[in-house]
Structures are given as C-alpha cells and as structure tokens.
C-alpha cells in the first residue's frame, strides 16, 4: 500500500513534527511534507497555538518556492483538521492548493475531526490513506491522544534513584543523585510538558522552582502544587502568577496570602480530606493539558500510583549506593502476596551521561 518513498517522507514529516515538541500545546505536534514525484516542494511543522498548522506552513513554503502544488502529495503526521478553531481548517487549505493525494500517519482522535478531515478530502476527489508510521505518530502526541480519548492528560512521574532504589538520604538530602547530563535530560522532559506537578512536602523540603532552565524554550509549563492543608509558604519559589495550588479548602486566611502572590487556588477535596487526584486529572484535561510531569516525593508518587493515574515512569538510576536508611521511590501499603505487586513494562532503556534512564509503563 505504501512505497519506500512514502515511508521516507512520513519519517521526514515526523522529524519536522518533533521541532514543535516544546511549543504547540495544547495542539498536537504535527509535521507536513509536500512532494511531486520524488521532489520535495515544501515542508513545515505546527507553530504555537493560534498560528499556522503544519499543512499551512508547508503550503507557504511551496508558494515561496513558486512550486505548483496541483496534483502533489501531502504527507501529514496527523489527519488534517476539518473544523474551525483558532485557525481555519487545514483540509480546506489543501483543497484550495489542489493537492491530489494526502497520506496521514494517523486519524485525529479529536471528536471534532475523527475521520472528517479525510472524508472531506475524499468527497472532493482527493486520494487519501492513513496508518503509515501510526505508532510513531501516536507516541509523538501521546498526551494529546490521552486527552482526546480519556479526557485526561498523560501523567509521567520522574524519579532519580541510586542502584539500591533510594531517592534521598534519611535526612531528606537528594541533591545531586544524578549527573549533569541526566539533569539536562529532565529539563527536556519538563519543556515538553504542559504542567509540572509536585506536592507541598517537596515545596517545604526543597523549595523548587520546577522551571525549564537547562534547555532553550519559549514556553514554561504551568506549575501545580498538591497541598490539601495549604502549607505552601506564600514566598516559595514556585508561587507566582499562573501557579495552581490544589487544596481541600480554599476559604482560609492562608489562601488569601497565596492569591495575593498571583496563585490560583482550586478546591478538590476527597472523602478522606486529601485531594481528589482523579478529579484533578479530569480538570487538567478540561483545561487543555496534554502532558503532566510529576516531580514529587514518595507520598504523592505513591498516591498517584495507587489511584492508577501513572501512565509512565521516567527513572534515572545513578551508579551509587545510599544505604538502607535512605528514602524509597513510592509510599504504598505493604504487600502480603506477590499477586498484589504492580507490573511494569520497560519501554525504553539508555545511558544518559553516567546514569541509566529507564522509561517504564504499566504492563
């Protein structure tokens, strides 16, 4: 069905899409290559929200090169949109350009599109196909797909541990377990995320910023603190305009002090007085959040795991030992049988500097 050239062009489109890794949220990362025969006429990738989608960027590149797009083939990593959002439908732009064939890596999971883009093109006589390098395209936009299909973002927990599974000394000191290469890699994960999530315990112990500093980016992820009792100090580094603090009760004197610093408070109490974590993920999905990165202590990480909200664990393991008195990865109840264990599958394994990075997902 697909030629060797088709595969090469879709792989090229996927590489283009990766250029939007840090900038497109809440939109998906999409790349587009337009060809005639085996000649590339133009290419592009999705710009920040409200600006050009990949197809429009590629068509503009064709126009700049005075290339005739009538009858050409467009390779797109996601089905062209067919609805009006912040920008007009990309399917209409392809029709106006006289494109003769459209190959999409995957159908758009957005219910507003969901095959309508390809059908619209087919109805106008354009040849269409989908499914070329679909797994790679889905992985590139795994958070967007999660939000469209499940109504909540993809949740990624980042952990750094010694080879004996410890994240900090018994006194709480954890800087630095991993080396500089691993820390820079963490900032790349932060940069692609829509939100950074932590707990009040981490704020009180470490006073983190949770911003992207070690890689270049034009956008900072929103920062969120899970803080049922509003223990976050108003002068904490993480408290700033745009910070979201999720609590059990927002009507307190402490709340006013945090709001004066520009923080937004959201009350999502659970029956036990803690935070309703599933409700939080649903709310973030409603707000257009695609990917959440968690950098927190064992308590919040364990609570997310017990609520079956963890989609991925990014674990950096350093070649050192911290000893049996040091802190572990997750706070979870003691197990009495092996059948109660949490099974994980190894999605990726590689060396980052002197450390090993494992990407693990629920089996």
Catalytic residues: 55
Are the C-beta atoms of residues 47 and 64 closer than 8 Å to each other?
A: no
Could you tell me which of 261, 253, 208 has the C-alpha nearest to residue 230?
253
Cα-based distances in Å from 268 to 220, 260, 303? 25, 21, 15
- Cβ atoms < 10 Å from Cβ of 68: 11
- Phi and psi, residue 233, nearest 5°: -70, 140
The rounded distance, in Å, linking the Cα atoms of 35 and 69 is 8
3-state SS, residue 127:
strand
The rounded distance, in Å, linking the Cα atoms of 207 and 205 is 6
Are the C-beta atoms of residues 200 and 232 closer than 8 Å to each other?
A: yes
Could you tell me which of 311, 306, 321 has the C-alpha nearest to residue 161?
321
Are the C-beta atoms of residues 55 and 76 closer than 8 Å to each other?
A: yes
Scanning the structure block, which residue is given the tokens 């979201």? 244
Are the C-beta atoms of residues 198 and 294 closer than 8 Å to each other?
A: yes
What residues pair up with 102 in beta bridges, in sequence order?
74, 128
The rounded distance, in Å, linking the Cα atoms of 165 and 326 is 9
The rounded distance, in Å, linking the Cα atoms of 308 and 351 is 28
Q: Please, what is the angle between helix 54-64 and helix 4-18, to 10°?
A: 110
List, in sequence order, the alpha helices (H) in 42-165. Answer: 54-64, 90-96, 116-123, 134-140, 142-150
- Phi and psi, residue 170, nearest 5°: -60, -25
Question: Where does the chain show beta strands of DSSP type E?
Answer: 31-36, 39-45, 73-76, 101-104, 127-130, 154-162, 195-199, 222-226, 244-247, 264-267, 291-294, 312-318, 344-352, 355-362
């Amino acid at each position: 069905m697909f030629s060797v050239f088709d595969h090469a062009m879709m792989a090229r489109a996927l590489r283009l899409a990766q250029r939007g890794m840090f900038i497109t949220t809440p939109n998906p990362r999409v790349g587009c290559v337009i060809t005639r025969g085996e000649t590339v006429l133009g290419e592009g990738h999705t710009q920040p929200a409200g600006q050009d989608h990949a197809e429009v960027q590629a068509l503009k590149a064709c126009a700049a090169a005075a290339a005739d797009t009538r009858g050409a083939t467009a390779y797109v990593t996601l089905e062209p949109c067919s609805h009006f959002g912040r920008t007009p439908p990309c399917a209409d732009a392809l029709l106006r350009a006289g494109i003769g064939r459209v190959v999409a890596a995957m159908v758009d999971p957005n219910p507003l599109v969901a095959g309508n883009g390809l059908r619209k093109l087919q109805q106008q006589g354009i040849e269409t196909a989908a499914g070329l390098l679909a797994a790679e395209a889905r992985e590139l936009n795994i958070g967007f797909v999660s939000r469209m299909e499940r109504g909540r973002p993809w949740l990624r927990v980042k952990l750094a541990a010694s080879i004996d599974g410890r994240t900090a000394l018994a006194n709480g000191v954890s800087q630095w377990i991993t080396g500089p290469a691993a820390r820079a890699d963490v900032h790349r994960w932060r940069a692609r995320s829509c939100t950074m999530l932590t707990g009040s315990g981490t704020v009180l112990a470490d006073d983190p910023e949770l911003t992207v500093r070690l890689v270049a980016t034009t956008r900072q992820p929103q920062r969120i603190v899970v803080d049922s009792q509003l223990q976050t100090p108003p002068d904490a580094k993480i408290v700033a305009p745009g910070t979201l603090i999720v609590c059990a009760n927002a009507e307190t004197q402490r709340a006013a002090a945090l709001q004066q610093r520009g923080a937004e408070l959201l009350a999502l109490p659970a029956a036990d007085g803690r935070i309703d974590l599933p409700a939080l993920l649903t709310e973030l999905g409603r707000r257009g959040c695609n990917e959440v990165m968690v950098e927190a202590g064992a308590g919040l990480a364990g609570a997310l795991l017990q609520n079956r909200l963890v989609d991925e664990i990014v674990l950096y393991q350093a070649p050192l030992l911290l000893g049996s008195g040091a802190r572990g990865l997750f706070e979870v109840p003691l197990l009495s049988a092996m059948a109660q264990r949490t099974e994980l599958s190894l999605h990726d394994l590689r060396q980052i500097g002197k450390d090993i990075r494992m990407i693990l997902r629920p089996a």
